Structures are given as structure tokens and as C-alpha cells.
Amino acid sequence: MLKKSSLVVWGVVLFVAWNALILFFLWTRPPSFSDHSHLTEEVIRLAQDAEVELERQKDILQQISHYSALWSRRKANEAQRHHMFPAASAQPSTAAPLPQRSVVSPDAVLPVVVIACDRSTVRRCLDKLLQYRPSKKRFPIIVSQDCGHEETAKVIASYGDAVMHIRQPNLSDIPVPTDHRKFQGYYKIARHYRWALSQVFRTLKYQAAIVVEDDLEVAPDFFEYFQAAFPLLITDPTLWCISAWNDNGKEQMVDVGHAELLYRTDFFPGLGWLLLADLWDELEPKWPKAFWDDWMRQPEQRQGRSCIRPEVSRTMTFGRKGVSHGQFFDQYLKFIKLNDRFVPFTQMDLSYLKKDEYERSFLAQVYGAPEMRVEELQGNQRRELGTVRVQYTTRDSFKAFAKALGVMDDLKSGVPRAGYKGIVSFLYRGRRVYLAPPSDWTGYDPRWS
């Protein structure tokens, strides 16, 4: 007779084989269309068929996992009795605790660090910052310039003592691998960020800073937003940044009439963000040579922490010229909606954004919403339902559904843009939609990239 451990192994093997056969059947059966215009619809239909079948097999997998766990515990207990190990000798958790925070006053000075290079259009950025800045003392503006571009330097100098102008001294090329020669610009950007933030936190001794780039225009309530959210950042150790940016912030995808809406997100947005000096203490020793923003999105840096982001972006980019040669700008960035009305955030109670309270409320909203299929949404059906949920369970189904609904479909270390607990919130044809994993979701898979 087979041992119980062998039965568990064979159960897993049979489950995987059966699941593979079902998926193979779903994805390889001949298409029922002759017009290539129906290709997207067929991909979505197949993805949703696969979702249904995976759900059907889920109970089997859970039973296998249950009996496997029981068997493992039984074997562990037998070994414990045999070797007379007391229960107290169990190994402690290896999860790293979140870094300790310094005490920071909620009224601390919040300098705005403008990362500049060779765009003389930095004037547009600076003009809006100065126009909306409520206090020079609370929000000093520091322009850190790389590249040695004299025309840009003259523009910055024309503001006199309204801004502080500092210059990155090392303008040399950076030795890079042969296959990275075309990415020289990304290496220089990372070097500049490291130097600029070190000046702000090491030399000037600020406790926090707001970082923007020279091609960003800010909203009328840009400073109000950061001033109101700052106390959350210094009191909630599960937060590591406040961002002004919504990655899915196209005008038709946000609720412009509720510009006061704020969210937690596991995705580092950048593009106008507030950080503490303590975070720089943590990041500076291991700062990357290039692609610093994607590096920030890796689990080793994020450590399970989140950012706050708005429904409607408080920054927009006007910089088509850059290291990405305008492709991303033309396809996406130029369509982001910039908030155009002032929201008095400092008069609002933002405690709902603290982790425990937020998760109780947000997850109840998401998983209390009725589930719909993508083609029903595309057909504008069942309008009476209001807020709805579209469920995905695999990387491929997320990408297929996101693309079909107009959501950014790329993943960084498994985290979707603007996502929290795997959930992406947006408007589709005027209704709130949550693109969400199953309610028993257990965490991000970094292989989903």
C-alpha cells in the first residue's frame, strides 16, 4: 500500500496534469472567427474560460493542501516527540522588522527638490510651484541641476533668492556594460538623484523632502495635499511615501467630481513624492547605478510598505523630451488628468488611510461588489449594479483584462500600477470597477513581471 506522503505527492501531480490538459484544451481549440478584429474578444473569452476552470479546480487544490499540511504536522510532531524538543524551541520568524523611525514634527519644513538637467522649460515647473506655494519658510524650493546646461542654469538663476540652485559637480560619463550604452542617461539620472538627496538630507539636514522633476506641472492643491498627508507618513510605519501621481489617471478613468479621494497603493508611483530622511538612511547605502524607480519597486526595498496616492493626479508631465525619447509620453503620460480645483485636505480627517482601518473598509467595498465579466462591461450591461468587480487569478488573465479595460497592464515585481493587495480601482464608462484577485489572495508573486 502506498504511504500517505506518496498519496499527497500523486494528488498534486494529478491536479497539475489535469489542470494543464484543461488549459491546453481551452487555449488550443480552433478559433470560431475569421476576422482579426475579433482577436481581442476571443483572447478575453478564452482567459475567462480558463478562470472558470481554475476556480472549479480550486477546491481540489485546497483539499490536497489541507491533507498535505496535516501530514506534515503529524510528521513534525513525531520527530518532536522522538527527539524530545520542547515547543518553545521553535525557530523565530525570519521576517525583517520595519526600520525604526526618528521622531519628526508634523510641522517640519518640507523642501521641494526639483531634479533638473537640460530643460529650459523648467520655468513652467518653477512658475507653478511659486504660484501655489503657501509658505516660503515651510516649503523652500531647491533646484538640483545636472548636465551643466547653461541655458537652463540661466533660467534657474533668474529666480534669484526665490529658489536655491545647487549643481551636481560630476558631469563625466559613467562606465556601463556594453549592452547598456544606450541607457547611459538612466545611469546619470540615478547618480544625480543620489547626490541631490544626499545634499538635502546630509548637508542641509532636512527631515523630509518632496521630490519633483523639471518637467512636472503641479496642481493648485499640490502643497495642501502633501501638508495634510505628511502626518500619516510620520505616524504609520507601513507607509514609505506620499505620491501625487495616479498611474491610471487618464481623465475618463478617474472621478473628477471626487478629487478628494485618496488610496493606499503597493506600487511606488514617483512623479512628485514625499519621503523621510530615515528612508534615505536606509536606501542610500544600496542605491542602484541605474533604473532607480524600478529598483524602488522591488520587494527588498518596499518591504511590504505602501504609498498614498490620489484619485486625480496632483502632477502632470509636459516633458516629451527625455531618456525615453517621448514614446511613453505620446502613448500615455500626456493623457493624465491634472486636478484643477483646490481640495482643503488639511481640514479633512485622513485617518481612514491608516492600514488597519483602510483594509477593513476598502476590502469590504471590493469584495462586497458584484462580479462581472469583461464583455459585460464592454457591452455596458447591468448598469443597475453600480460598482462592480472583475476577478483575475493569473498573470495572463490580469494582463488580458487590464488591456481590455484600458488599465496599465504592466507589473513590477508582481505589483500592478496603482494596485493595493492586488486590487486596481478605476472608472470604466462612468462606473467604479475593481480589477481584483480572489478574496483569499495571499501576496504578490515577483515572477509576474
The Cα–Cα gap between 27 and 225 comes to 47
3-state secondary structure of 127: helix
Q: What are phi and psi of 420, to 5 degrees?
A: -135, 125
Q: C-alpha cell of 145? A: 541641476
Residues whose CB is less than 8 angstroms from the CB of residue 246 and which lie 6 or more positions away in sequence, other chains included: 254, 269, 309, 310, 311, 312, 313, 336, 418
Q: How far, in Å, CA of 223 to CA of 134, rounded?
A: 7
What is the distance of C-alpha 103 from the center of its chain?
27
Determine contact, residues 226/87, Cβ cutoff 8 Å. no
Q: Which of 49, 255, 293, 409 is catalytic?
A: 293
Which residues are CB-contacts of 203 (< 8 A; sequence separation ≥ 6)? none
Q: Is 255 one of the annotated active-site residues of the chain?
A: no
How many other C-beta atoms can be found within 10 angstroms of the C-beta atom of residue 148? Answer: 13
Name 410's Cβ contacts closer than 8 Å, sequence gap at least 6.
416, 417
Nearest alpha carbon to residue 204 among 277, 260, 256, 155:
277
Q: Which three cell numbers mark 367?
A: 469584495
Give the type of residue at 135.
S
The rounded distance, in Å, linking the Cα atoms of 203 and 216 is 26
Q: Which three cell numbers stand for residue 244?
A: 501625487
Q: Among all residues, which ones are annotated catalytic?
A: 293
